[in-house]
Structure formats: C-alpha cells, structure tokens
C-alpha cells in the first residue's frame, strides 16, 4: 500500500503571507502512460466534510480561489496558499488514487493564523 | 448539483453490524463513470478510505476491513449502502459517503455531511 506523509503536522502563518504544505508518497503516483499524477488535496474546516481543492496534483477544482496552487510530481508534492486568508484556517489532507485501491490519505496538516 | 446524504443509527453495540445508507440526489447513480465511496474519520483523527462501488455493483474494499465489509447499491432508489459487521470501539467514527471524480477517478468531488456512529454498549 502507498503511504502518504505530510509535513509539517501543524503550521501557523500570518494573514497575507504564504503557507506551504508538503506531501510525500512512499512510491510514485505518476502514471507514465498519461503523465498524470494521481494526487489530490482537500481542505477540511471544523465540523465539515473535506472539500476538494486540487486534483491531478495541480488542477484547481471549479470555484476554488486561485491563491490555492498544487505542484510536484512523482513522490513529492506541495500545496501553496499564496496569501493566507482567515477562512483558510483548516486541516489540509493529501490523498493518492494511483492504480488499484486502497486509496490513502496523509495524516493532515493543521493550518492556523499566527 | 449532486448531493449525498448519509443515514443510519448513531449508536451501535459492540459485535453488532453497523448499517448506513447514502441517498444521492441531483443526479443518477447509474449515469456516468463514478465510484461511489465510503470514507470514515475517527473523532479528532485523519481520514480512512473504506471502499467503493460502481453502479454495476462491482466493488473494491480496503483490505483492512474486507472480511467485515459489504457495500451494495440500489439504483432504483438511487442509494448505496455500507454494512460493517462485528464492530468494536475502534469503528467509532464519522462516516462519509462520497462520489469520485470524472472517468472513474479516485479523487472525491462530492461529499455527504457525514454521520457519527458510536460503538458502545
């Protein structure tokens, strides 16, 4: 099974500053036949279900603000929030959906305001 | 807009079977290439993928739960269901149903609000 490891576990950033969350997979999630990375990012606010932010590692879901950006390939990925807003306080998860299940999630990164 | 809603008992006794249903509205389970999935989250912890079903009835389960798990679909009611047998306190969690992405992709674009199931005598 593919293990997903996020860093850091928690992060405090000032409003308007950049937040960076990393996600590493135990094996590559890049499918060579279509050159797609099977990696997604979610935001989960307290008491809410996860919300899809990014899929295929860098494709922003419709309606997601453009301050959210996903990057990386193979085993190393990054979610960047370019200018932190108060409503971005949440836990962020990466998830791989490469090949056959089980799909797996990172342990989550808690993002707070400094 | 597709919406999903979980329903079922909020309290289950140890060793009994946990049963939940997800009702889909705003779209048909039978249309499109989507995986209909269950995901759970123990209180204060991270997300665990449970399994999925395709409208045809084909399934894939997390091996860690496979021996206790059944996911089924009722296209006439636009619902899919989860049954987890022999539950213990470790199965206490918020259970979410979710729809996968386009072309049978394994990211989840639509989620139910979740339902807390507590396993306790």
* Beta strand A68-73 pairing with B59-61: unpaired
- The yes-or-no verdict on residue A99 having pLDDT over 80 is no
CB contact under 8 A, A102 and B62: yes
> Is residue B74 within 8 Å of B81, Cβ to Cβ?
yes
A6-48: pLDDT as tens digits: 999 999 999 999 999 999 999 999 999 999 999 999 999 999 9
CA B78 to chain centre: 14
- The yes-or-no verdict on residue B15 having pLDDT over 90 is yes
Query: What's the confidence (pLDDT) of residue B18?
Result: 98
- The yes-or-no verdict on residue B6 having pLDDT over 90 is yes
- The yes-or-no verdict on residue B101 having pLDDT over 90 is no
Q: What are the C-alpha distances in Å from A31 to residues A64, A74, B17? A: 25, 9, 38
User: In whole angstroms, what is the distance from residue A112 CA to residue B101 CA?
Assistant: 29
User: In whole angstroms, what is the distance from residue B121 CA to residue A73 CA?
Assistant: 47
Chain A residues 89-108 with CB within 8 Å of chain B: 93, 95, 97, 100-108
Residues of A in contact with B114 (CB under 8 A): 49
User: In whole angstroms, what is the distance from residue A62 CA to residue A52 CA?
Assistant: 9
B31-84: pLDDT as tens digits: 878 999 999 999 999 999 999 999 889 999 999 999 999 999 999 999 999 999
Closest chain A CA to residue B99: A52
CA B101 to chain centre: 16
- The yes-or-no verdict on residue B104 having pLDDT over 90 is no
Residue (of A51, A58, A64) closest to B112 by Cα position: A51
User: In whole angstroms, what is the distance from residue B49 CA to residue B39 CA?
Assistant: 5
A97 closest CB neighbour out of B47, B64, B107: B107
Q: What are the C-alpha distances in Å from A44 to residues A53, A94, B65, B100? A: 10, 11, 24, 17
Give A4→chain B minimum CA distance, Å.
12
């Amino acid at each position: 099974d593919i293990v997903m490891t996020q860093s850091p576990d928690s992060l405090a950033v000032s409003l308007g500053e950049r937040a960076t969350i990393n996600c590493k997979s135990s094996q590559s999630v890049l499918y060579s036949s279509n050159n797609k990375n099977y990696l997604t990012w979610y935001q989960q606010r307290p008491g809410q279900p996860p919300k899809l932010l990014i899929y295929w590692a860098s494709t922003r879901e419709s309606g997601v603000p453009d301050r959210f950006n996903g990057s990386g390939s193979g085993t190393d990925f990054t979610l960047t929030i370019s200018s932190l807003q108060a409503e971005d306080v949440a836990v962020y998860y990466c998830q791989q959906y490469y090949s056959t299940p089980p799909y797996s999630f990172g342990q989550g990164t808690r993002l707070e305001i400094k | 807009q597709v919406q999903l809603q979980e329903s079922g008992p909020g309290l289950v006794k140890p060793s009994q079977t946990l049963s939940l249903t997800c009702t889909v509205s705003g779209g048909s389970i039978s249309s499109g290439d989507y995986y209909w999935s269950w995901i759970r989250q123990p209180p204060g912890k991270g997300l665990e993928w449970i399994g999925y079903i395709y409208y045809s009835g084909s399934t894939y389960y997390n091996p860690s739960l496979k021996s206790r798990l059944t996911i089924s679909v009722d296209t006439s009611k636009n619902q899919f269901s989860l049954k987890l047998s022999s539950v213990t306190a470790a199965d206490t969690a918020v259970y979410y149903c979710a729809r996968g992405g386009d072309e049978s992709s394994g990211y989840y674009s639509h989620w139910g609000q979740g339902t807390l199931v507590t396993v306790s005598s």
